[in-house]
Amino acid sequence: MESTVLLIDMQSFYASIEKALRPELQHRPLVVSGDPERRSGVILAACPLAKSYGIQNAITLREAEERCPHLIVVRPRMSLYLQTSLRITEILGQFSDRVEPYSIDEQFISISGCQTLFGSPMETARKIQQEIAIQLGLYARIGVGPNKVLSKMACDHFAKKNESGLFELTKDKLETHLWPLPVEKMFGVGKRMGRHLRRMGIATIGDLARCPLARLRKRWGVNGYVLWMTANGIDLSPVHPDTFQKQKAIGHQMTLPRDYHTTEEIGVVLLELCEEVCRRARRQRQVGWTVSVGCRGADFNFPSGFHRQRTMPEATNHTMTVFSHARELFTRFWDGQPIRSIGVSLSQLSADRPMQLSLFENNDQQHRLGHVMDEINQRFGPTAILRAASLTRAGQALERSQKIGGHHR
């Protein structure tokens, strides 16, 4: 039985949700943007009408308003967007039990074996598109292919440009549709990789598909093999609901509301980040061997910052242990210049049981204490227990407890 995978992508997801709830704004240029007073004033989503003014995601709100003075600006409501994404998952579940969320506005669904119920792949895609429009008032673009990578590229390069919002990219269309595209358009190839490929004389996806596999493997090893497979439309990864359950790392990054200048105030935020990362690790019953710290400087004209990691003597999810290593990393590599963002992550994850015993540390007590604190915060709210440092001017825990993903709920 031939495999068939659909990639469902919601057009201007956040902006479309806001317009669906406020019909009077249907014919007005609308964007969803963060708060410029807290350095989150960038465009998160722009409706098609706003995009016609040259407004794109990630530009600043100020720049967007210069391009369109009568722009409607809506603050993000992340809880609403997450709930809507889950609703879409439920709708897709009516067509197949193999649904894999790829991002908040993109989901894969395998419809192999469903033809007798819903018709051909394109007919099924059209029914899904109509069902989402009827139930949520949102417009979905859908790419159809024999695997995930082809359905993704079918959506990104063809369905989004079709009036119907649908496109099927089969193996027999590779040479006529996919291969003429610039190599940078291929899934998995960014600007940097594109430059490397062009230096090798590979300018299109077709050039990459026809390139001798041995040459690519000699240059990039396994990654070269993956590039060649993708260019030839080969993807063996299945659609599975639990694909993203096995995380390789747990991390948290924060854009600061102002420039932070001293190790004391940076240390407060670093501790809060370690607390959040370790809380999430404990919730998933994971410990990590490697802690990573990264930051970005405040001066855009002279970019600065770093990303460094170290392996700890033993795997842990204890906040103060991770913080101790993170602080040492930061102190060692920070150039002393003001920073505007900072992040911490825990990787090389493994199950937190069995636990390595120590002659010098009471690991079991620390482990139980962390879980007790988590349980209190879960029952009474994320700020039921706070470290005293979070109550200082540098602390961000109280402010961020009211947000999801750095934006208001």
Which residue, among 118, 94, 96, 120, has the nearest Cα to 109 in the 3D structure?
96
With a CB cutoff of 8 Å and minimum separation 6, the contacts of 170 are 145, 146, 150
- Is 235 annotated to bind a ligand? Reply is no
Say how far apart CA 304 and CA 13 lie, in whole Å: 33
**How does residue 394 score in pLDDT terms, banded at 50, 70 and 90?**
confident
pLDDT score at 140 = 97
Mean pLDDT of 235-264: 83
Q: What letter would DSSP give residue 132?
A: H
| Residues 409 and 403: beta-carbon distance below 8 Å | yes
C-alpha distances out from residue 388 to 94, 268, 393, Å:
49, 10, 11
Say how far apart CA 373 and CA 386 lie, in whole Å: 10
Mean pLDDT of 298-317: 86
pLDDT score at 322 = 94
Distance spanning both ends of the chain, measured CA to CA: 44
Please calculate the CA angle 89-81-11 and round it to the nearest 5 degrees.
75
Q: Which positions are catalytic?
A: 106
With a CB cutoff of 8 Å and minimum separation 6, the contacts of 128 are 6, 8, 91, 92, 95, 109, 140, 142
Mean pLDDT of 197-220: 95
- What value does the mean pLDDT of the chain take? 88
pLDDT score at 130 = 97
The type of residue at 208 is L
Antiparallel, parallel or unpaired: β 72-74 and 403-404: unpaired
Say how far apart CA 323 and CA 327 lie, in whole Å: 6
What percentage of the chain has pLDDT greater than the value 70? Answer: 89
Can you list the domains of the chain with their CATH numbers?
1-168 (3.30.70.270), 176-231 (1.10.150.20), 249-408 (3.30.1490.100)
Q: Is the pLDDT of residue 358 over 60?
A: no
Peptide bond into 212 cis (omega under 30): no
pLDDT score at 12 = 94
For the segment 39-72, what is each residue's pLDDT rounded down to a tens digit? 557 899 999 999 999 999 988 888 999 999 999 9
Q: Is the pLDDT of residue 26 over 80?
A: yes
**How does residue 157 score in pLDDT terms, banded at 50, 70 and 90?**
very high
pLDDT score at 70 = 93
- Is 9 annotated to bind a ligand? Reply is yes
Mean pLDDT of 316-335: 93
